[in-house]
Structure formats: C-alpha cells, structure tokens
Amino acid sequence: MEILVCVKKVPDTADAEVVLKQDGTGIKEDDLASGINEWDNYAVEEAIRIKETHGGTVTVATIGSADSEDVLRRCLAMGADNAIMIDDASFKGADPYGIARGLCGVAGKGSYDLVLAGAQAGDDGYAMVGPVLAGYLGWPHATLVTSILLEGKTVTVTRELEGGLEEMLRIELPAVLTIQTGINEPRYVSIMGIRKVRAKEIPVLDPAAIGLAPGEIGANANRIKRTGLAVPPAGKEAEMIKGTPAEIARKILDIVKERGGVA
C-alpha cells in the first residue's frame, strides 16, 4: 500500500487575535503560533495506521516554504517514511486549483494506491483541494471521511453527514480521501522522536520537477481571484457579566431562574 498524504502548515487562529497586514493582502502571522493543519494531522495518523496494518509506505508532501520543514519532520517522527517539499515560491497566492495541480504533479511521480488529505484547512477553509486533485487524477474520491477499511483493491469508508448521520461507500483504488477530524487519535510526537529524524533528507522539488509549466500556477493563473480582506463588522454583542467569580455565579443562577425558568 503506497500512500501519499498532503499536508499544510497553517497559523493557529482559533484562540488568537487576527490582525490584517497594513496593505490588506493577508494577516500578520508573526505573532501567531503555527503548525500542521488539524485535519492533516488526522490524515497522517490514518495513513500510518493503514501502513502498520497492511504494510507499504507513507509519503507526506507539502507545498510550502523552508518554514514548513518542521511540519514534515513531525510527520516523519509520527512514522511517515518519506517527505517531499514543493518549493512554494511559484505557488505564491495560488488558489485551490493551483495547489491541486501541484499535488497532482507529486502524485504522478509515484505509484500511489491512496492519497489522503485533510478535509479542509484551518486558514482559508475551501475544502476543495482533495476532490479537485481527484478530478485532475481521474480517480474516485470521498470527502469528510470518518473511517477507512481496506479490502483488497477497494476501500469501504464512512462519510460524515449532518445531524449525526453517516453514509457508507465502497470505492475503487486508487482513490483520494479527505479526512475529517476525530477519525482517530493522532499519536503524540516527542522531542526525542523529532530528533531521530532530523538528519533525514527531505527533497525540495521545483514546479518543473513535477511536470508543471511556468505560469500554470501562482496568483496569475488563479481562477478564484482574491480582491480584498476585511475584519467582519461587529455583530450583536452579548451583555457582559462582570465581577468576582462568586458574583458572576450568582448572576448566572439568577438569569437561569428568572429568564430560563428551569432551575
């Protein structure tokens, strides 16, 4: 089983203040922690589990700058066999089609049975790269996958639907699957583990090496053209309860009694 996992480094914006750059072209990332996209982490874990059960190799690939190397090393420490970095200089500002084009080039250089990707990314959240990549490869796909069972030349997967429902599908290999969070419990990566893989060579490929023509990718080739970023207008705001924890607790209980009528 040869598995390719597509990963990406993203800034962690969940519990952080996000500030726009002065020219409005992006956000200030200097003060933000960053790491592997949460969905991708589950995809890497799932690939390694499949390898541990069925044998084969796991290759992780990213389109990113030298700054993304730590994410690839972390995947190697988790148990991936190989890592590939596609130099992102020519991918600057690429839309999901450009990224999928690049990953299609990477997939074409190997003989993979399965490509896994995160169902979406925590930064721009298109959830498009996986299914678009599958379209470029001419392979079947499934998105939002919550379990994978390998059976010969097919996989049986569940996809997450709404309202606590899932659907089951059987898919022929090779295929592209995009992974939903919660599919597994990603393993812990120790500092010792990362040290062990620090000397492992990570080839850096340029677009030509994966069969892309100049101009095929990057901002000018984009089909989705970003024209501006803005901080959303403030909506309705909650009435803030202030005071010591004891005072706050008393007010909460009053509200629950008076307005909720449940306690």
Contact positions with other proteins (CB under 8 A) in 20-79: 20, 27
Query: Does residue number 185 form part of the binding site for other proteins (CB under 8 A)?
Result: yes
Query: Nearest distance from residue 259's CB to other proteins, in Å?
Result: 5
As a whole number of angstroms, the distance between CA 81 and CA 69 comes to 15
Q: Which is nearer to other proteins, 198 or 242 (CB)?
A: 242
Query: Nearest distance from residue 83's CB to other proteins, in Å?
Result: 25
As a whole number of angstroms, the distance between CA 84 and CA 200 comes to 11
Q: Check residue 212 and report its DSSP letter.
A: P
Do residues 34 and 12 lie in contact, with contact meaning Cβ atoms separated by under 8 Å? Answer: yes
Residue type at 252?
Answer: I
Query: Does residue number 14 form part of the binding site for other proteins (CB under 8 A)?
Result: yes
Q: Which is nearer to other proteins, 55 or 182 (CB)?
A: 182
Do residues 129 and 100 lie in contact, with contact meaning Cβ atoms separated by under 8 Å? Answer: yes
Which residues are CB-contacts of 223 (< 8 A; sequence separation ≥ 6)?
Answer: 95, 97
Do residues 54 and 3 lie in contact, with contact meaning Cβ atoms separated by under 8 Å? Answer: no
As a whole number of angstroms, the distance between CA 116 and CA 7 comes to 9
Question: Three-state SS for 207?
Answer: helix
- Within residues 108-167, the interface with other proteins by CB under 8 A covers 119, 122-128, 130-132, 134-136, 139-144, 146, 156, 158-167
Site string for other proteins, 88-107 (x = CB under 8 A): --------xx----------
- Within residues 201-240, the interface with other proteins by CB under 8 A covers 222-232, 234-240
Instruction: Number of residues interacting with other proteins: please give it, by CB under 8 A.
Output: 85
Query: Nearest distance from residue 261's CB to other proteins, in Å?
Result: 6
